[in-house]
Structure 1
């Protein structure tokens, strides 16, 4: 898939499944800010690192589609994953080019905050109902939809028949493995993370973002651009709660297991049950809750 910005080629090799740590930031990932720290009766001044949050406008065939607040970095994956989540594309062959557009500051410096995705010839663009009326915040990926009907995206792959089976102890180890790969979180404490693992626990890819839905979209975009969809027999581990939108994104990527360190919403559990996805919550230490798809969890006979 060609990549360019303003006519200038970008050399960005797509990492293989064995290179989960490869990062391709464009823009500031963290921002330094002086803060006053109060502890007991003492006050000290220090410089603190904050997770960067900037708008990214995604255009499709030159036409504005949506604006999301995100942490700069892996923007091409974010745009591609967003289109996978919305059912617009399902293969790297569906995309002709992704390029940064001119989005210059007053002094002429490119902000790298505007992307244009050009679909390959013959790929049908999305319906008007997909367009968002206002920007997508970093905490919500579906609240800006033009219509509720657009939420019920038709998945390209069925996950109900995925034969993946997991031992509880393997799942229990994933949060710590995900946490150990959160490089920017170590500096800021302010990012969500999404990690993709094999059924044997191998880490395939990890992405961070101020928005949990953006982190998952970056994973899906990484998979699409590497021609890895559908993500059969994999586990999606997220650092926060499991919302409806994250279940939907997992299904759209062909992922049959979604695990979260916090709670799922009621609608997330309903959608997971409807689509045949295994939904795990409160994955902490040696315990977890299995909300749907318990047949994929291997248990010792009692």
Structure 2
């Protein structure tokens, strides 16, 4: 079976492309594999909370992680039901998710803020409307010191990520995020066109499959997530999501913004950047990393 007729995995599709060659010629049009980007309308009891542009797939994890990061839920027990609206085959099916809170729980949509509710949250946005580190830290509890992480585990963190990016290998057009335990074992990993969406999917999986709970939950968290690995630049919203999820170490293939570094310092997170080829740079809380 040729590459052109081979079934594609979820999250990618084909479009025609004309390539300009090194020899100075325009090659004939041929199919190319590209990432899918579609809107997801997140609704709470019928009201639109946000619309995010994402790669379809793992929507249950994406929505759960998004609600958790925004402080609207504190554990999996806060979710009553979460399902796509409509019927398979109908136009738009799969792009609307309806969330029903657990019995007795009222989700306050105003917590998200007027800048996000009912508006488009793009694939690079994340925490639109957040104005400062002080605003965020007022609603987040700093991450406790926790056990020391071996430097060798941290140095190999992004190697795990590369093996978990099949859609990036095909398209070059998606980000990835993964959660590792202190031994470097992968707990959850996802790809998405949006950096913050990939992280939300990982956090949602930690909630639904690994016992993650916020500091405000009635029962303590049982999640073993120690490192959040991301494929792109570390920005403010990535650190925000790691802080809420109580993941003490963030590792990135790329750089970090100044605001992300400031928030990581305040939140008690260890931030490692340019984690590649067995090396990394530590910007905050290096005491959490031990040689070995």
TM-score by length of 1: 0.83
Output the CA distance in 2 between the equivalents of 1:32 and 1:207: 21
Work out the CA distance in 1 between the residues paired with 2:72 and 2:291: 39
Note if 1:48 corresponds to 2:32: yes
Give, in whole Å, the separation in 2 of the partners of 1:184 and 1:233: 24
How has the CA–CA distance of structure 1 residues 62 and 271 changed in structure 2, closer, same or farther, with 3 Å as cutoff? same
The count of corresponding residues between Structure 1 and Structure 2 is 269
- 1:239 paired residue number: 231
Within 5 A, what are the aligned runs for 1:155-170?
155=140, 158-163=142-147, 165-170=148-153
Cα distance in structure 2, aligned partners of 1:204 and 1:111? 30
Distance 2:10 2:152 in 1: 37
Q: Kindly indicate whether the alpha-carbon contact (under 8 Å) linking 1:86 and 1:153 is maintained by their aligned counterparts in 2.
A: no
Alignment of 1:125-164 (within 5 A): 125-131=107-113, 132-133=116-117, 134-143=119-128, 145=129, 151=136, 154-155=139-140, 158-163=142-147
Q: Is the 8 A contact 1:243 1:265 kept in 2?
A: yes
Would you say 1:39 and 2:24 are equivalent positions? no
* 2:281 is aligned with 1:281: no
- The Cα shift of 1:111 comes to 2.5
Show the counterpart of 2:179.
196
Partner of 1:108: 90
CA distance in 2, matches of 1:271, 1:58: 27
Determine if contact 1:162/1:233 at 8 Å carries over to the other structure. no
- TM-superposition CA deviations, 1:86-111 (whole Å, max 9, x none): 0111211100000111388xx83452
In 1, Cα distance between equivalents of 2:130 and 2:87: 26
How do 1:170-209 residues align onto structure 2 when only pairs under 5 Å count? 170-209=153-192
Residue 84 (1) aligns with residue 68 (2)? yes
Distance in structure 1 (CA, Å) of the matches to 2:45 and 2:90: 24
Structure 1 residues 299 and 246, CA, compared in 2 at 3 Å: closer, same or farther? same
Query: Residue 252 of structure 1 is aligned with which of 227, 238, 244?
Result: 244
Distance 1:295 1:153, change over 3 A: same
1:203 shift after superposition: 1.1
Per the TM alignment, residue 62 of structure 1 is displaced from its structure 2 partner at its CA by: 1.5
Relative to structure 1, is the Cα distance of residues 289 and 194 closer, same or farther in structure 2, using a 3 angstrom cutoff? same
Tell me the equivalent position of 1:124.
106
Q: CA deviation at 1:228?
A: 1.8
Using the size of structure 2 for normalisation, the TM-score is 0.85
How do residues 8-23 of structure 1 correspond to structure 2 at under 5 angstroms? none
Please list the CA deviations of residues 151-208 of structure 1 after superposition, one character each: whole Å capped at 9, or x if unmatched: 55723x6522322x22222212121211111111111111000011111111111100
Of 277, 281, 295, 2:287 maps to 295
Q: Which runs of 5+ in 1 are unaligned?
A: 1-26
Which whole-Å CA distance do the structure 2 matches of 1:112 and 1:127 have between them? 22
Aligned-CA RMSD value:
2.2
Q: Name the SS for the 2:20 alignment partner.
A: strand
